[in-house]
Amino acid sequence: MENNLLLEIITPNGQIFSGKVKDVLLPGEEGEFGVLPEHVSLFTLLSGGVIEFTKENGNVDAVVVSSGNVTVADGSVIALVEGAVALEGRGEGDIATALDSVKELLKDVADNQTILASVEAKLS
């Protein structure tokens, strides 16, 4: 039994993340849902929100996405999204830059204030 998933987050401009993860939390159109190893295959739409995942080393990372779709099959999670911003860095400058990028990404997404509040909570 495989204890990890291969997660790929891809935009029209290229790959944002590719690597082995322990779990993934995704912003589905019907609400957030989690994926663990051995998850049943599925295809669904993603709404604007945060993809959060636990890397093999136990660190939790997050990527804000605008919209797209995700395919879960055979131990992999492939998210094809319109736009994405990785939430990296922990300094005040990094956080401010990330928030500015997220605001630009989500300017056309409905209910973006809720998503921004979620992002700010994850960064603090």
Going from the N-terminus, what domains does the chain have, and what CATH number goes with each?
1-124 (2.60.15.10)
85-108 average pLDDT score: 66
pLDDT of residue 111: 62
64-92 average pLDDT score: 86
pLDDT of residue 86: 84
Among 32, 34, 49, which Cα is nearest to 121's?
49
φ, ψ (nearest 5 deg) of residue 107: -60, -30
Q: How confident is the model at residue 110 (pLDDT cuts 50, 70, 90)?
A: low
- The more confidently predicted of residues 24 and 115 is 24
pLDDT of residue 95: 58
37-55 average pLDDT score: 93
Q: Which residue bears the tokens 């849902």?
A: 33
pLDDT of residue 5: 96
15-22 average pLDDT score: 96
Q: Give the predicted TM-score (pTM) of the model.
A: 0.80
pLDDT more than 70, % of the chain: 71
89: pLDDT strictly greater than 70: no
Long-range contacts of 68-73 (CB under 8 A, 24+ apart): 69/43, 69/44, 69/45, 70/26, 70/28, 70/43, 70/44, 70/46, 71/42, 71/43, 72/35, 72/39, 72/40, 72/41, 72/42, 72/43, 73/41, 73/42
